[in-house]
Amino acid sequence: MSRYTGPKQRLQRQIGEDLGLKTNGLKTAKRIDSRPGQHGAKNRRKLSNFGVQLKEKQKIKYIYGVMEKQLKKVYELASKNPAATGSALLGFLERRLDNVVYRLGWAPTRAAARQLVNHSHVTVNGKKMNIASFRVQVGDIIVLKNQATKIPLVAELLKSEVESLPGWLERKAAAGKVVRLPERIDIKEKLDEQLVVEYYSR
């Protein structure tokens, strides 16, 4: 599956917020208010309603590391869900395997978590799973392979407590479990999913 491979800081400067795409928060903050491009600092016009909706949609894309086609598919699936479309959309994105590995505190960013998954360092219910977009279910057991625990950065993260482990996950060292489906309250990022629903329902 395709993915964005360009500079992460450019995406954050485009949105004007720290989206957690890089590990160095201080470096990110230095230029976060400067738009990318030669004339980024000039001519900042007020966004139209469409522009606000588009910006929020792009923000969710960048945070979860998905492409436009993937996000549209998730929206279509969420729109058929009996729950509120926006909450269902975020719930489906939260249940992506790369996001789960990130939420469990085994990787500093979702991009790093995706690499762990793609390189077959993760198992789900005892079976190798190298598809980052795999959607976990309640009761699934996610485990880091021994080889992954020897990676210096991963080993360091395993020694520390997860600062904000969401309530729908449990972690014990290199093993995690999905105890329930994620809810809107579990997502700490500042997102307005209703704007994304409005964008796609135009």
Task: Residue 56: name the closest of 81, 86, 22 by CA.
Answer: 86
Q: Compare 110 and 47 and report the one with higher pLDDT.
A: 110
Which helix (H) or strand (E) segment holds residue 128: the answer is strand 127-128
**Predicted confidence (pLDDT) at residue 185 exceeds the cutoff of 80:** yes
Question: What mean pLDDT comes out for the span 40-63?
Answer: 82
Question: What mean pLDDT comes out for the span 173-200?
Answer: 93
Domains by residue range for the chain, with CATH = 8-93+190-200 (1.10.1050.10), 96-181 (3.10.290.10)
Task: Residue 63: name the closest of 35, 96, 36, 30 by CA.
Answer: 96
Task: Note the pLDDT tens digit of each residue in 6-35.
Answer: 666 766 666 666 666 665 554 455 555 666
The pTM of this model reads 0.83
Task: Residue 11: name the closest of 49, 44, 60, 48 by CA.
Answer: 60
